[in-house]
Structure 1
Amino acid sequence: MDAQQYKRANANSFYVSIITVVTGIVLTLLSLITKGFDIGKAVIFASAVVSLIIIFIGNFKFYEEKTGAVLIMCGVSVFYLTLVLAGNDLAYFAFGLPILICSTLYSNVALCGTGVGIISVSFIISIITNLLTSGLQNNILVPAIATLILSFVSCIMTVSLQKNFIDEKRLLMSQTAKKTLDAGNNMADIANKITELFNASQDDLYSLQKILESQQSGMQNIATNMENTSQSIIKQAEKVQSIQEKTSTTEQDRIEMTEASESTQTVIDEGINIISELKLKSQDVSKASQITVDATQAVIDKVEEVKNIVSSIMAISTQTNLLALNASIEAARAGEAGKGFAVVANNVRELAAETNKASNEITNIINELNEDVQKAMFSIDDTVTTVDKQNAMIESVGESFNSINNNVSGMITRFSHIAEGMKSIADSTNEINDSISTLSATSQEVASLSHEGAKASDEATEKFNAFKAILVDISDQANKLREINATR
């Protein structure tokens, strides 16, 4: 028997032995309750503990060995021997049957004979003890002995038949194994030939695999590169399209800026003309202001002359008043003769007083006129100064307009150059766009062909790998056959 067979047999023997021992303990406990305690029952309980220890050791420590079977059978046999001898009850002889049945599980005549011997010894001792105590009056011994002998004979015959059957089966298996070995040798020869052929073709297969892998890698790289190239071309086409759009937008902006510059130049020209007219008008105002200044200065001079004349008149009037006063005095001294002269003198004096009064009024008017003329003179001076500043500003603005006009003219010239450059750029981008369109179509065709080539290479590689796997599997099976044949 092998380890697995011993494991199964020991497990079955273990369960039967445990049931046997437990049943014996239960029957002993019942006897203890009905008949009372005696030394035999104590021996049975002690034997049960020892037997259980031996049985457990045999099953759990040596469960895959013959030693386990011997310990299990010895443990249950010791309990059976103690039970039969100490129990003093013929019913306990029935416990020998499970032990005999368990011994047959191992198909071992020696082990079965050992069990039969232990049971026989215990039975003989029990019979002798029974004869000594009760004599030949107990007729139950004869059937018991007959039953026990039949059980022993049946057990030994069963084990012998099992042993013979196993030997015949082993012989048949040996013959079958010989035939299998011969077939295995033939298969090993075939496997050796397959291995030799596989080893001979392995280098060629390896070289072919490298070629296919290289071709597959190359096709994949070509497809990847063409895909990247196609993507780059698409991006370049998008950039060119963007450049065209920006060029169109820039051209439109340039046209608008040119129109705005031309409009600005027109406005500047009008401004320059207006500045020129302002300059002329300002010069006229400056001349008129100078004439006004000269006229005002002449008025001031004439006012001074009138003022001097009035002063002379006032001096003459004062002198006349004094002379009239003296004349009046002299006329009063003359009496009646001087009355007429006195009247004249008084009239002259009154006229002198009115003349003086009028002279004072003229003087006041002249003074006021002089002040107004001075104020007008100051205002005219301010106007002249303002006009001079205005002329300077007009001159500066005219120079600025001239400078702006020159810059705008330069801008318009540059815009003309830009227009020519933008036209060249538009023509170039159109040519580039046409070239990119052609290149994109070509690259897409090449990429498509590359993908088809890569696909074909992948399919060829897959088929080759499948073929190689079949050969490798055949070689592995051949090697396994060789190993199996070698182990036999």
Structure 2
Amino acid sequence: MVRGIKNRIVLILSFIVLLVSFLIHVLHRVFNIADLWDHHGAEQISLVTNIFLIVPVILFIMSLILYRMNREHPFLPLFNTLTITFSSVSMIAGGEGMVEYHFSIFMVVAIIGYYESIKLILIMTAIFAVQHLAGVFYISEYVFGTDSYPFSMVMIHALFLIGTSGAIIWQTANKRKLVADLDEKEKKQELLNGIIEKLSHTSEKLIDESGKLKHNYESNQVALKEIVSGIQEISAGAETQKNKTVQSSQAIQDIATGVQNIATTSTEASEVSLNTVQEANDGNDMIQKTVDQMNSINDKVSSSSDTIKLLNSRSREIGEIVELITDISSQTNLLALNAAIEAARAGEHGKGFAVVADEVRQLAEESANSANRITELVQSIQEDTTTSADSMNEAMTSVKDGLRIVQDTGEIFGKIHTSVEGVAEQIKQISSSAKDVSDVSEQSSATIQEMTAFAEEATDNAQNVASSSDEQLESTEFLSTLIATLNEISHELEELVSKTEELK
């Protein structure tokens, strides 16, 4: 875009210089304003002058064609330079070498300097140097307006020409250097702004993720406390169940004793049977209560199992968040390394930023180490929750088995109740019924003993789960400390970003 504008301006100026050259030719060749025309050798002079007149015209036409093809054509500056340079040569030749027209050389230097190209200035200077040397040895009339011209005067011309061109070249080179330095500073500033922006974004994201981690930790704390409370209730229920099964076992043994007494003392069968009916009713009520208690234990164990599964899921979420924090720490470390490299390139100007970049890198490493410690802790929590889940599953299985046994026992007590009522109504079959009841009583006693063993096992499992839950709760308290450390690091990183922005 800029090159095209420069080409257009210089093309217009070259056309104006070309018109001035034509005007000078007309004034000197038609109107003879200098009154210096020598008719001796006029044909030769006219031919050479026409050559000097036509050359810039041809060059201008070529420049115009290139401009129409492409306004930013790479050869267009060269042809514009040649057009203006040879137009000046044509002015001098058409003006019969008058010294006044030599000042057009400085006009050409000024126009070509607009391109800020050392190569073009050197080409222009070389053409004028060749012109003056040719004027000394071959075509003095067209360059200096006389048959001979002192070489010392030519050297003076050359000295001023070289001095002017050299000054333009020096100014152009110095300007290029200044522009390059400014561009380099702008690039470094843009890079610094990009790094600061990325650090700011990373800091905000780290703070946000730290807040989410803290929220998840608090939710897990509540869930763990509920689990511990539920397990303690399960343990107490299991202990109660064990006591009641012992009582049921004792009641069954009493029933068996009563049945044996009925078998040996038939005269007391009616009274004993009535007592047995009452005891059977009491036992049935007790069994029903046991069934209700077992159902309650089963519900609580199921709820505890769901809570442990939820804790396990939350632990995985914490693990995913920690992985995200690890990635953010890695990116922050990489950004800090890049910033340190850029600061090293900047030299003295980048020392302050290098210190900041090093602190950012150290904070990123501390964040990564904290994230690794959190990952290890989360893995430990997941292992503990898995163990707790397995224990809870075993407890649920034991509770279900105990519930089934109690239900079976309830059914047996129903049979006992029916049998005892039959004894009251059928005293004649007391011996046979007593034998049946004795057999059933023995079976019930064995069942109750098994149920007692299951109740003891359920109690032990519940206590183990409660102990594991307490340990897990203590582990999560350590996680709270790590979260606080991570949050503090995040705020320190944010402060560093703010200080870096102030350095801008």
Structure with larger RCO (C-alpha < 8 A, sep 6+)? 1
Q: TM-score, normalised by structure 1?
A: 0.35
Q: TM-score, normalised by structure 2?
A: 0.34
Q: State which structure, 1 or 2, has the greater radius of gyration over its C-alpha atoms.
A: 1
